[in-house]
Amino acid sequence: MLTLVTFFPVLGAIILLSLKAIKKESDLLVKQLAVGFSAVTFVLSLGLLFQFDKSLGGLQLVDKADWIPSWNISYYLGIDGLSILMVLLTTFISMLAILSSWSAIKEQVKQYYVFMLLLEAGMLGVFLAQDLFLFYIFWEFTLIPMYFLIGIWGGQERIYASIKFFLYTMAGSLLMLLAILYMGITNETFSLPALIAGRSAFADVQNWLFVGFAIAFAIKVPIFPFHSWLPDAHTQAPTAGSIILAGVLLKMGTYGFLRFNLPLFPEASVHYAPTIAVLAIIGIIYGAIVSFPQKDVKKLVAYSSISHLGFVMLGIFSLTEAGLQGAILQGVNHGLSTGALFFLVGVIYEQRHTRMMSDFGGLWKAMPIFAVLSLIVTLSSMGLPGLNGFVGEFTILLGSMGSHALGDHAWIYTAFATTGVILAAVYLLWMYQNVFMGPLDKEENKKLRDMNGRELTIMLAFLLFIFWIGIAPAAYFALMDSTVAKMVADIVSAGALAMP
Amino acid sequence: MNAFQLAPFLLIFPAIGVLFNGLVGRRFVEADAKSGEKWSGWFASTMAILAFIVAAMLFFSLRSNEFHAEAVKMFDWFNIPSANFYIPWTIQVDTLSVAMMLVVTGVGSLIHIYAIGYMHGDPDFSRFFAYLNLFLFFMLILVSGSTYLMLFVGWEGVGLCSYLLIGFWFDRIDEQGKAMNADAGRKAFIANRVGDLAMILAMILLFWAFKSLEFGQVFGSAIEMFEKGEGVHLFGMEMSIGAVTTAVTALFLMGAAGKSAQIPLYVWLPDAMAGPTPVSALIHAATMVTSGIYLMVRSNVLLEIARESGNLVFGLVSSPDLIALTGALTALVAGLIAFTQFDIKKVLAYSTVSQLGFMVAAAGMGAYVAAMFHLIAHAFFKALLFLSAGSVIHGMEHGHHHVHEHDHGDDLHGVPEGDKHHEVEKFDPQDMRTMGGLRDKMPTTYVVYMIGALALSGIVPLAGFWSKDEILAHGSQNNQVVYWMLVVAAFFTAFYMGRQLKMVFFDKPRHAAAEHASESSPLMTRPLIALATLSVLGGLLNLPFLSESIKEANHGHPGGIWLGLEGWLEHSVQAFHLSEEGLIHLPHTPVVLSLPVAGASTVLAVLALALAFFVVYGKRPKTADERDPLQSTPIWWFSILPFEWFYMHTFVPGFKWLARWSADTIDWAFWHDFVHNNLIRDVFRGFANFASDVLDANGVDGLVNGSGRFTRYVGSIIRKTQSGYARNYALGVFLGTVILLAYFIFSY
């Protein structure tokens, strides 16, 4: 089942590539097929929910086979409470991103959708792989389609942005590769559960291994100060690229911490928790402050990601049940609200070919539906209670204050992180006012059309989850509770975390 | 009769109203302005009235249930079993919440109806009513939630509605081209968020101390642990319950300072007057801004424990005393600022800040019933004052239009077009200096305004007299400092209201617009009359001797048809104190009419009114541009109180500078450009050059030649990539990756 979900988009990509041989090729058919394949993948991933037993803490629906036995490398997919929401997020965001490209992509349409589908498969593989070598291959593989998406269909400085994105992430992964090889050779296995069980073999060097993994993930998240690639990649990527980048790719970093760093190196995780939490809080505040003076809406949203992901990192390294679950859910929330924001920027960019706030103003009068939907998404990003962002943020803050990993002064971390709540209002309301309020005084803006049916459908899909998670998140927490509880219990029983 | 299960409808009706006006209301108005406005406005008003009916049914259900609170669970919200974090959406029906529901929906309904008349002709009519219903929805969540977290949903939600309604006319700009309404809305939201920071921290602290955010459970375990002298283990130390409650209530004060406009966060409320006047009445006078007081009264157990425990904030003062002092200081300072305002609504705005200070002070002194009493009475007469002010503004605009049209006829006589337009723009229908003599032009408005102003000033037997006196009586018994500050503030109240009455309604009109002002439509004046009646009779809610005599007749138990606010709230608001035997639950501090206090404050109020009316403003101002008699006195300094100045001249520019510097210099010029584009890239290049040089040095050409050739070679590659497709280059990188990967795999 997991193999089917993961490789179904690849099937789509292959069919698109061989389209010429089967049938007369047209852009419309390509689009329809791409949308269809991504939609079926989403439905398949929903099917996982029925097979998933949320009372279990361990891996489920495992697909396992020997792959390269001489190096102890196996094909090993599995799902648990850490990954199920990420898988659903991936298929959901990919589907909407593909649908959102309908009218935005006019050149080399087929290649574009092939890359989108390959990217989706790569991301699914990252979230499902339970063999470190397999994980590494998926991890690096996602770079390639993203690299082309930015480099070919991106903005003015796309080459620079795509190379920077590629090199930065690639360089960060090399240390992780070394760490993986080290563990794989000392333990003669690359399977994650086996490595966790036998982690005493590398426990004495775990601080080094932790850092090796952490740098790769920190760049992906990005944790301050490894964020320099992000504004370039986000502003230059096409709309769908930005949606996927913010919606899913960044979550690969936070997921990596959860999946590998915490269970493989519990003592190191506790040891480094205060450091990473401080960086996370710097990220929350710094990202928010730097967002404020941005003139390009897309860049503002990009920097706001640094702030939001800071919350996620704080939640993870609080090492509490509430903090971890809040972090996972906030990953989903950030994917929804920031993905939706990038989509909305794309809607207006398609019409006006500018993203500068100074070119807008008073758009509410011209596009009331667009304005109201943007308001809801902005508020979700701001963490208004009743919408999804608050649920994640509050759970994270709750967890961080009760954290033992952060020491006796955990409340100071919480207090600083909570200032992000004020700063988010400062920069997001500023953006909203500049774009939608004030007089509608520019001629070009008066003729703007409001959202069309396809755009509305995409937005309603986003909003469905923005409201659902905001009002009734219990079902989402239920999916991850057992896994997270087991994980925290493992860290405690490893003796890494003293519980009073 | 038991209608508790109907409680969710309290929220469902306004939600339906939001959906109606948000989705289809606009079409009705666009299709036919006249009937459309009726549909849109009356639909919203009906939803408000239906919510009021639900609240009334809950009121009677509580009575037949012998005042026992009921919790009506709707569905789960948060549920994280491993963290013991469980928060359902539950409506708490108890005497306190029902009192608030009745005020919110009752005053809210009247204001909805009034707004149908007031907003007539606005192109965004239906959007306005969608916001109003949305506000009711969130306000009812705020007062009906059974947990702090649900209260917080309403708390932020009403903040959002406040933001939207202040910025309702978001496309208006001032002379400097700034979108002032949008700015004012944003300011309100951000100031509130500063308070919300404290609210979030307080809730998290409460959760870790008591493992719950549900009111009953928090209060129950707080009392129990306090009685036993137990502490909680938090942050690696043992914290006493007194310390926890002190911290939490101090944080609540900060939250209330944002929402209920107390020092130092009150600065947003005067600016909030940029919104339509019904909004000022509903949100920024009667209901939303009293949320902070509701929070305090709701948390009475925590406040009392903080008081009894003797823990001090920063080692200086107990947190209830801090709350009382903050409230009293706000009452005093805002009362002074009100002296210096010329905008009819801004006087009322500062007056609201001042009256909220009274309520906060009452809550801080433990006079919870008095705080609620003043909250309700204030909702009546301040809503009345704002709506009447709206009627005055309407009348002035009408008069101005009249004059303007008249002037058009005179155009032929050669008045330069440009000049007149300038004049037209300069006219401010809210400036009291341009009014005067409206008593004759708008008789109904005059009478109801008079009632509101006298009620606010605390004249017997209007509502404000009873409620304010109860606070003062508590002050005289409990806290002399606060008492005297409040007495002076009450004196100020009467003075600025006297000034306003004089400037608006008496003397001769000082502007052509005032001369031609006319009375507003019945749709607007009828709600005014209803509110005026409430302002007159509001004191009956909690007449001191009445509720006492009823209690006596019922052998110490309140009962019968009329039980008074005190007897009613007794079932939600407990009073106790710590003695050697443990916690002793007290009956309420009996409401006594302290004759010396009441007499003194009445005399002072009359004196202040007279002083303003006959002495200071006795003969002035005669013309619209005459200086205010107080303008040369030190009182005027308060009009530029340092808070606003501090925020606008140090904090805001400071933040902007910091943000620009961080973004442009640190993040972009240094980190992005210098470190990444120069440092890292150049070091890498240098390394690459060195490697190629060493390789080349083995050849015949030698070092210099080789590097030259390498440069040429690199140049040719770059030329190729720049002329060719990006994907060719990307393909190279891709192949490189594959080769590298293959190398890694197969080299083992």
Q: Could A290 and B663 be called an inter-chain contact, meaning their C-beta atoms sit closer than 8 Å?
A: yes
| Per-residue model confidence (pLDDT) at position B237 | 80
Nearest chain A residue to B179 by CA: give it. A438
Q: Is residue B427 part of a domain?
A: no
Q: Are residues B389 and B326 in the same domain?
A: yes
Q: Are residues B676 and B707 in the same domain?
A: yes
Q: In one letter, which amino acid is B633?
A: T
- The beta-carbon neighbor of A228 closest among B172, B183, B671 is B671
Residue B681 has a CB neighbour count (10 Å cut-off) of 13
Interface size A-B, in CB pairs within 8 Å, comes to 190
B164-194 exposure pattern, b = at least 16 Cβ within 10 A, e = fewer:
bbbbbbbbbbeeeeebbbbbbbbbbbbbbbb
Closest CA to B189 of B212, B158, B215, B233: B158
Per-residue confidence band for B1, with pLDDT thresholds at 50, 70 and 90 = low
- What are A140-184's pLDDT values in tens digits? 999 999 999 998 898 888 888 888 888 888 888 888 999 999 999
Best of A163, A166, A421 to substitute, by most chain B Cβ atoms within 10 angstroms, is A421
Per-residue confidence band for B585, with pLDDT thresholds at 50, 70 and 90 = low
| Per-residue model confidence (pLDDT) at position B583 | 62
Q: Is residue B59 part of a domain?
A: yes
Q: What is chain A's mean pLDDT, rounded?
A: 92
- The beta-carbon neighbor of A425 closest among B22, B173, B189 is B189
| Per-residue model confidence (pLDDT) at position B642 | 65
- What are A316-356's pLDDT values in tens digits? 999 999 999 999 999 999 999 999 999 999 999 999 889 99
| Per-residue model confidence (pLDDT) at position B608 | 92
Average pLDDT over residues B603-616: 90
Question: Does B420 score more than 50 pLDDT?
Answer: no
Question: How far is the alpha carbon of A448 from chain B, nearest alpha carbon, in Å?
Answer: 17
Question: Does B550 score more than 80 pLDDT?
Answer: no
| Neighbour-count burial of A303, counting CB atoms closer than 10 A to its CB (0-12 exposed, 13-18 middle, 19+ buried) | buried
- Give the distance, in angstroms, between the CA of residue B4 and the centroid of all CA atoms in the same chain: 29
Q: Could A421 and B196 be called an inter-chain contact, meaning their C-beta atoms sit closer than 8 Å?
A: yes
- Write out chain A residues lying below 8 Å of B193, CB-based: 421-422, 425
Per-residue confidence band for B552, with pLDDT thresholds at 50, 70 and 90 = low
HSE toward the beta carbon, residue A427, CA cutoff 13 A: 36
Tell me the CA end-to-end span of chain B in Å, nearest whole number. 82
Q: What is chain B's mean pLDDT, rounded?
A: 83
Beta-carbon contacts of A153 under 8 Å, excluding residues fewer than 6 positions away, are A105, A107, A108, A112, A238, A241
Give B529-556 as a 3 state SS string. Answer: HHHHHHHHHHHHHHCHHHHHHHHHHCCC
Strand partners, A60: A79
Q: Are residues B128 and B180 in the same domain?
A: no
Q: Could B182 and A231 be called an inter-chain contact, meaning their C-beta atoms sit closer than 8 Å?
A: no
Q: Which two tokens mark A155?
A: 């903005």
User: What's the rounded Cα separation, in Å, for the pair A256 and A212?
Assistant: 12
Q: Are residues B165 and B283 in the same domain?
A: yes
User: What's the rounded Cα separation, in Å, for the pair B82 and A333?
Assistant: 21
Question: Three-state SS for B76?
Answer: strand
| Per-residue model confidence (pLDDT) at position B497 | 94
Q: In one letter, which amino acid is B115?
A: A
- Write out chain B residues lying below 8 Å of A143, CB-based: 737
Nearest chain A residue to B81 by CA: give it. A481
CB-based contact, A25 to chain B, within 8 Å? no
Q: Could A471 and B77 be called an inter-chain contact, meaning their C-beta atoms sit closer than 8 Å?
A: yes
Question: Does B427 score more than 50 pLDDT?
Answer: yes
- The beta-carbon neighbor of B204 closest among A292, A365, A398 is A398
Question: Does B733 score more than 60 pLDDT?
Answer: no
- What are B21-69's pLDDT values in tens digits? 999 888 888 888 788 888 899 999 999 999 999 999 999 888 888 888 8
Question: Does B415 score more than 50 pLDDT?
Answer: no
Domain termination residue (choose one: B146, B162, B191): B146
Q: Is residue B410 part of a domain?
A: no
Q: What is the ipTM of this complex?
A: 0.94
- Write out chain B residues lying below 8 Å of A477, CB-based: 78-80
Average pLDDT over residues B319-338: 93
| Per-residue model confidence (pLDDT) at position A47 | 93
Cβ contact A319:A404 at 8 Å = yes
Question: Does B576 score more than 70 pLDDT?
Answer: no
- Write out chain A residues lying below 8 Å of B200, CB-based: 394, 397, 418, 421
- What are B100-127's pLDDT values in tens digits? 999 999 999 999 999 998 888 888 899 9
Average pLDDT over residues B350-361: 95
Packing angle of the helix pair A266-291, A297-316 (nearest 10 deg): 150
| Per-residue model confidence (pLDDT) at position B584 | 64
Question: Does A292 score more than 90 pLDDT?
Answer: yes
User: What's the rounded Cα separation, in Å, for the pair A373 and A458?
Assistant: 11
Average pLDDT over residues B488-507: 92
| Per-residue model confidence (pLDDT) at position B718 | 52
Q: Are residues B137 and B156 in the same domain?
A: no
Per-residue confidence band for B543, with pLDDT thresholds at 50, 70 and 90 = confident
Q: Is residue B622 part of a domain?
A: yes
- Listed by number, the residues of chain A in 221-280 with a beta carbon closer than 8 Å to a beta carbon of chain B are 225, 228, 231-232
- Listed by number, the residues of chain A in 407-426 with a beta carbon closer than 8 Å to a beta carbon of chain B are 407-411, 414-415, 418-419, 421-422, 425-426
Q: Are residues B280 and B158 in the same domain?
A: yes
- What are B189-221's pLDDT values in tens digits? 999 999 999 999 999 999 999 999 999 999 999
Question: Does B701 score more than 50 pLDDT?
Answer: no
Packing angle of the helix pair A388-401, A297-316 (nearest 10 deg): 40
Q: Which of A282-291, A365-374, B166-175, B244-253 has the lowest mean pLDDT?
A: B166-175
Nearest chain B residue to A363 by CA: give it. B171
Q: Which of A303-307, B140-144, B732-736 has the lowest mean pLDDT?
A: B732-736
Question: Three-state SS for A65?
Answer: strand
Q: Is residue B496 part of a domain?
A: yes
Q: Which two tokens mark B425?
A: 């723009």
Beta-carbon contacts of A188 under 8 Å, excluding residues fewer than 6 positions away, are A72
Domains of chain A, by residue range, sit at 265-500
Domain termination residue (choose one: B610, B640, B670): B640
Question: Does B580 score more than 70 pLDDT?
Answer: no
Nearest chain A residue to B187 by CA: give it. A426
- The beta-carbon neighbor of A322 closest among B80, B173, B741 is B80
Domain termination residue (choose one: B105, B121, B146): B146
Q: Could B171 and A439 be called an inter-chain contact, meaning their C-beta atoms sit closer than 8 Å?
A: yes
- Write out chain A residues lying below 8 Å of B717, CB-based: none
- Write out chain B residues lying below 8 Å of A329, CB-based: none
Of chain B, the percentage scoring pLDDT greater than 70 comes to: 83
Per-residue confidence band for B418, with pLDDT thresholds at 50, 70 and 90 = very low
Residue B327 has a CB neighbour count (10 Å cut-off) of 36
Q: Could A294 and B663 be called an inter-chain contact, meaning their C-beta atoms sit closer than 8 Å?
A: yes
Nearest chain A residue to B746 by CA: give it. A71
Q: Is residue B412 part of a domain?
A: no
User: What's the rounded Cα separation, in Å, for the pair B48 and B51?
Assistant: 5
Cβ contact A229:A245 at 8 Å = no
Q: Could A292 and B663 be called an inter-chain contact, meaning their C-beta atoms sit closer than 8 Å?
A: yes
Q: Are residues B115 and B224 in the same domain?
A: no
Q: Could A395 and B727 be called an inter-chain contact, meaning their C-beta atoms sit closer than 8 Å?
A: no
User: What's the rounded Cα separation, in Å, for the pair A28 and B522?
Assistant: 61
- Listed by number, the residues of chain A in 279-318 with a beta carbon closer than 8 Å to a beta carbon of chain B are 286, 289-290, 292-294, 303
Per-residue confidence band for A84, with pLDDT thresholds at 50, 70 and 90 = very high
Q: Could B76 and A384 be called an inter-chain contact, meaning their C-beta atoms sit closer than 8 Å?
A: no
User: What's the rounded Cα separation, in Å, for the pair A464 and B313?
Assistant: 45
Q: Which two tokens mark A497?
A: 């975390």
Beta-carbon contacts of A9 under 8 Å, excluding residues fewer than 6 positions away, are A37, A38, A41, A94, A117, A118, A120, A121, A124
| Per-residue model confidence (pLDDT) at position B409 | 45
Packing angle of the helix pair A158-187, B726-746 (nearest 10 deg): 10
User: What's the rounded Cα separation, in Å, for the pair B51 and B512?
Assistant: 43
Average pLDDT over residues B366-391: 92
| Per-residue model confidence (pLDDT) at position B410 | 44
- What are A5-53's pLDDT values in tens digits? 999 999 999 998 888 766 666 888 889 999 999 999 999 999 999 999 9
Question: Does A71 score more than 90 pLDDT?
Answer: no
Q: Are residues B602 and B497 in the same domain?
A: yes
- The beta-carbon neighbor of B207 closest among A398, A478, A484 is A398
Q: Are residues B257 and B356 in the same domain?
A: yes
- Listed by number, the residues of chain A in 461-500 with a beta carbon closer than 8 Å to a beta carbon of chain B are 471-474, 477-478, 481-482, 484-485, 488, 500
| Per-residue model confidence (pLDDT) at position B624 | 76
Question: Does A358 score more than 50 pLDDT?
Answer: yes
- Write out chain A residues lying below 8 Å of B236, CB-based: 407-408
User: What's the rounded Cα separation, in Å, for the pair A212 and A206?
Assistant: 10
- What are B281-324's pLDDT values in tens digits? 999 989 999 999 999 999 999 998 898 888 888 888 899 999 99
DSSP state at residue B676? I
Q: Which two tokens mark A472?
A: 């009734």
- Listed by number, the residues of chain A in 350-379 with a beta carbon closer than 8 Å to a beta carbon of chain B are 362, 364-365, 372, 379
Q: Could B727 and A151 be called an inter-chain contact, meaning their C-beta atoms sit closer than 8 Å?
A: yes
Among A62-76, A451-465, B310-324, B700-714, top mean pLDDT goes to A451-465
For A374, B105, B316, B591, the CA distances from B323, given in Å and listed in that order, are 39, 28, 13, 22
- Write out chain B residues lying below 8 Å of A325, CB-based: 80, 82-83
Q: Are residues B580 and B628 in the same domain?
A: yes
Range of the domain at B85: 1-146
Whole-model pTM: value is: 0.90
Nearest chain A residue to B671 by CA: give it. A228
Q: Are residues B537 and B657 in the same domain?
A: no
Q: Are residues B98 and B212 in the same domain?
A: no
Average pLDDT over residues B254-265: 92
Question: How far is the alpha carbon of B145 from chain A, nearest alpha carbon, in Å?
Answer: 13
- The count of structural domains within chain B is 3
Question: Three-state SS for B622?
Answer: coil
Q: Could B85 and A225 be called an inter-chain contact, meaning their C-beta atoms sit closer than 8 Å?
A: no
Q: Which two tokens mark A200?
A: 């005493």
- The beta-carbon neighbor of A425 closest among B190, B730, B745 is B190
| Per-residue model confidence (pLDDT) at position B422 | 41
Average pLDDT over residues B490-501: 93
Average pLDDT over residues B11-24: 94
| Per-residue model confidence (pLDDT) at position B724 | 44
Q: Could B662 and A422 be called an inter-chain contact, meaning their C-beta atoms sit closer than 8 Å?
A: no
Cβ contact B283:B244 at 8 Å = no
Q: Is residue B419 part of a domain?
A: no
- What are B616-647's pLDDT values in tens digits? 887 777 777 777 877 777 777 766 666 777 78
- The beta-carbon neighbor of A414 closest among B81, B179, B204 is B204
Question: Three-state SS for B282?
Answer: helix
Best of B74, B77, B80 to substitute, by most chain A Cβ atoms within 10 angstroms, is B80
